Amino acid sequence: DRELERVRLQQQARDAVQVKKDELKLRFAAEKGKFAKEKESLLCEIQRGLEDLRIEIAKHNETRRQRARTIVE
């Protein structure tokens, strides 16, 4: 009878540990997904910023070319 109780308690402990492991796996997966979304969002933001910067540089260079052309003429 004691042996049966011991086995039952061991199984309960194993089950409790497994439940906790499963909860942690789910939480980790959710956090990983959230991180991936944030990373993607930041990369898009950086790409937009770089594109805006390229446009500004192109405008600036064009303005300089026009000024240089005006000075030469």
Q: What is the pLDDT of residues 5-59, one digit of tens each?
A: 999 999 999 999 999 999 999 999 999 999 999 999 999 999 999 999 999 999 9
Tell me the two tokens of residue 47: 């790409």
The pLDDT value given to residue 63? 95
Cα separations in angstroms, 16 against 23, 28, 44, 68: 11, 18, 42, 77
- For residue 70, what pLDDT is reported? 84
pLDDT of 68 over the 90 cut? no
3-class DSSP state of 73: coil
Residues 63 and 56: their CA atoms lie apart, in Å, by: 11
Instruction: Enter the pTM of the model.
Output: 0.60
Rg (CA), the chain: 31
